[in-house]
Amino acid sequence: MSEKSRFHFTGICGTAMGSVAAAMKQRGFVVTGSDANVYPPMSDFLRDQGIPIAEGYNENNIPADADVVIIGNAISRGNPEAEAALDRKLLYHSLPEVMKEYFLRGKRNFIVSGTHGKTTTSSMLAWLLENAGKNPGFMIGGLPKNLGRGARFTESEFTVLEGDEYDTAFFDKRSKFLHYLPECVVINNIEFDHADIYASLDEIKLTFRRLLNIVPRTGMAFINGDDPNCLEVAANAPCPVTTVGFSADCALRIENINYDEHRSSFTLGGIPCSVRMTGEFNVRNAAMAAAAATFAGLSPGEILAGLESFEGVARRQELRGEVNGIKVIDDFAHHPTAIRLAVQSLRQRHPGSRLWILFEPRSNTTRRAVFQNELAEALSLADVSLVAPIPDLHKIPENDRLDPDKLGADINRHGGSGQCMPDLESIVATVKAQARPGDVVAVLSNGGFGGIHSKLLAALA
């Protein structure tokens, strides 16, 4: 690819696409781009870099002299620019392929993977390296508060990547993380997810086996030693494997755990650690980040200092405001396990508070019937659960759709207090009418949820 100099990014305004496009521009390449959704902050960031962006997709957006078209993961057949790239027989690549050739080859790449906790763990690891003066590159699917952005590429030997098992592009159905040239892999946990592209848990296990299959003999895989699926996937791995977890069988054991309202402390292999977050899953995330940082060569002192100063990730149990003694918290959830873990952590952080969960089933998995019962069980753990209307339900095959009415009934059957609501306004009205001082209202979604946070705070005021 090295002799190519002119790159056009179709779908440039995604966090990863925009960050790579800017990094290519900084290295002297000619970069153009287009997107259907051109809005700040990414649009401003790209224009500040001197990258022209076309709004909307059109075959004429691809310059006549373009050497390579980078086609984003959200682009499918029928997109005018994808069709033009095929018709004109242009060289086209996925984003992970470009990252591999221009930013990852020859580096020490640390890939954080798993169904849950990827964003927090990769943010922690990137911050541990940054705080220790290593200036790592990183690509994270969220906004780490310490780092101020989700992605950057540096000349450092280290790169931290949130490793997604989702597919790469319409023309490459392998998981993105298989392109990332891993030296070190973290597998937090493995569950069934992404029901739009995986038919079974076995298919997901297969892609994680393929990931471990490309870790070199000098590398390392840190896996959750308490998760049977992780143990099964790593059973015959050709690379070194270290199990991390609470059980006595784990090579690197988490012990002496202590929680208070604002932090969790523990020892990892006998070394004291502390993080300003609550919940068992955040202890696991911190332990994985610490283990990987140790492999990178950081000292116990550097790791402790980094964990202590880690400020978290935007949209991960983030307090958006408190009105009349009622707290509104933003959290990210795309799976029943994520809901269950969020409830557990919120209970630890706000003992004695009545807990509301406002859930938007928005991911390709939670809009499907596959987790009908598991969602009900998870939501029943809150004191009150209100479920939003399911966006774009018509895009899911009819016999495969989550049944919202049944979900509400099942939450109650499991001992909770649940209801599926007709619209956003009725959710806000219900909270306004029934919430009382001391309540915690947690908004769980993997999208914007119609800006419900500010609407709630305004209504409660």
264-312 pLDDT tens trace: 999 999 999 999 998 888 999 999 999 999 999 999 999 999 999 999 8
- 194 and 327: one domain? no
Q: Which residues of 207-230 are buried (b: 16+ CB within 10 A; e: fewer)?
A: bbeebbebbeeebbbbbbbbbebb
What total number of domains does the chain contain? 3
- Identify the domain containing residue 90 by its residue range: 6-98
- 291 and 329: one domain? no
Q: Across 163-306, where does the E strand assignment appear?
A: 167-169, 172-175, 182-187, 220-224, 241-245, 252-259, 264-268, 271-275
Which stretches of the chain score pLDDT less than 70?
1-2
- 293 and 336: one domain? no
- 221 and 249: one domain? yes
- Partners of residue 69 on adjacent β-strands: 8, 92
Average pLDDT, the chain: 93
Closest by alpha carbon to 59, among 79, 77, 91, 81?
81
CA separation for the pair 349, 404 (Å, rounded): 30
Q: Tell me the one-letter amino acid at 45.
A: F
- 221 and 196: one domain? yes
- 190 and 272: one domain? yes
- 322 and 270: one domain? no
Contact in structure between 440 and 354 (CB atoms under 8 Å): yes
| CA geometry: angle 182, 282, 177, nearest 5 deg | 20
